[in-house]
Amino acid sequence: MARDLARTGKRVLILEWGPGGPIRGAFRDYVRQQLVPGKSLLLTPERLGMVRGITTGGSSLFFYATCFPVPFEMLRAHGVDLREAVEEARRELPIAPLKDEMMTPMANRIMQSARQLGLPWQRLDKFLYQDRWRPGLPFGYYGDPHGVKWSARNYVEEAVAGGATLWNGARAIRVVVEGKQATGVELVMRGERRVVSAPVIVVAAGGIGSPLVLRASGIEEAGRDFFFDPLLTVCGTMRDVALGPSEIPMSAGLLQRDEGYMLADMALPRGCHFLFTAQAGKLRRLFAFRSTARIMVKVRDALGGRLTDSGGVRKRLSTEDRDRLHRGEQSARRILAEAGATDIYRTGFMAAHPGGTAKIGQVVDANLETRFRNLYVCDCSVIPEPWGLPPTLTLVGLGKRLARHLSGGVADKPVA
């Protein structure tokens, strides 16, 4: 949204809590920007770990670059027509299934096994500049210094090149509201509180960050009844296929829409394998990194729970959520067994897509505006229903549509 607005000549200021700086792809950057307890790593009462990236580009810097189709019909039912915006996004982003050379023996083995079981396992679309890829290049789990993986940081850089101003280390605390109109943002930067004024304010601090800012601004109902798309991984030991240096997570998989879960191959980097395996108590497997085949099970959880004012996540998995995870796990176990894996086990629960904390129809209207004039929300918070999908293409579409609305380009007509 910032990029598109800057290109229309609007003056744009981006307030980013996290750091910027070069992307080095280093584990230590990942730990500092995505694994700080209470900031980027949040634990639910059931000790489910939820991660988010606090850095320029947000969680997408560390994402797995999987592009899922947008649920247009669901959004239309809430008055949001994203088709044009998403078509535009598809034209400018590098979206395609992996070419043959990028499918590794491990990903192919898992795909073959799933297909032998009659499952519609397909290569998934990825946000990757595949022409920049070379054999041996590692996937950018910790940010991609080689520029193969697209992330929202690309858009921020284009926004700045187009005239936008970016302040890193600027944590928005609340929106200043006078009467019924938003007029500025109170923020903390280098330990100092200050207020910046603006005629239009868009809160885009993510599914956890945005509701906290909204609540501090007087929108108390934000941060309730949300989803976080819980996931687990199922692992097994393979004797005849090994992980290579260029594994790409979520190369292929399937969505069981009616069952409410998705499965995908899930190669992890060594550091994450170590953490996940230790968490599962499988100490014998800690150093079996190269021989571990892994499938991710992600489910569409029911809306529920609440955030505390300081960002604590108070949400428990429902019986239905656990049933979905269990059904997905059983399916993943069958695929791994078919692939020849032994010693199959599962890791603990995680979550990576918090959203629905400022839903369309409740906290914002179909144009993403809150009850305060000129105060908008644009990120995973606004998704109005349970989710269970990689959301990035939908979020880019929402950003483009809002940019168009704010620049007075094409007026948004309410959708029947």
Q: Which residues bind ligand FAD (CB under 6 A)?
A: 15-18, 51-55, 58-60, 62-66, 171-172, 204-207, 209, 213, 250, 352-353, 379-380, 390-392, 395
Q: How far is the CB of 37 from ligand FAD (least distance, A)?
A: 15
| Residue 342 CB neighbour total at 10 angstroms | 10
Question: Is the CB of 59 or the CB of 291 nearer to ligand FAD?
Answer: 59
Q: What are phi and psi of 381, to 5 degrees?
A: -60, -30
CB atoms under 10 Å from CB of 321, counted, come to: 23
**Cβ(67)–Cβ(95) under 8 Å?**
yes
Q: What is the number of other CB atoms lying within 10 angstroms of the CB of residue 133?
A: 20
Min. distance of Cβ 240 from ligand FAD in angstroms? 28
**Beta carbon of residue 41, minimum distance to ligand FAD (angstroms, whole number):** 10
Which is nearer to ligand FAD, 66 or 251 (by Cβ)? Answer: 66
Secondary structure of residue 300 in the 3-state scheme = coil
The residue (of 206 and 304) whose beta carbon lies closer to ligand FAD is: 206
Nearer to ligand FAD, 185 or 241 (CB): 185
Q: How far apart are CA 205 and CA 177, in angstroms?
A: 18
Any idea what DSSP says for residue 223? T
Residue nearest to ligand FAD (CB): 58
Rounded to whole angstroms, the Cα distance separating 162 from 7 reads: 6
For ligand FAD, the closer of residues 341 and 395 by Cβ is: 395
In terms of CB distance, is 52 or 300 closer to ligand FAD? Answer: 52
**Which secondary-structure segment (H or E) carries 180?**
none
Shortest distance (Å) from residue 317 CB to ligand FAD: 18
Shortest Å distance, C-beta 192 to ligand FAD = 15
Cβ burial, residue 37 (10 Å; 0-12/13-18/19+): exposed
**Residue closer to ligand FAD (CB basis): 57 or 304:** 57
Shortest distance, position 60 Cβ to ligand FAD, whole Å:
4
CA–CA distance, 121 with 401 (Å, rounded to integer)? 32
- Decide whether 171 or 373 has the Cβ nearer to ligand FAD: 171
Q: How far apart are CB 251 and ligand FAD at their closest, in Å?
A: 11
Residues in contact with 168: Cβ distance below 8 Å, sequence separation at least 6, in sequence order = 16, 18, 19, 20, 56
Tell me how far apart the alpha carbons of residues 211 and 215 are, in angstroms, rounded to a whole number: 6
Q: How far is the CB of 340 from ligand FAD (least distance, A)?
A: 27
* Residue for token pair 């150093």: 287
Residues 6+ apart with CB under 8 A from 330: none
Terminal-to-terminal C-alpha distance of the chain = 25
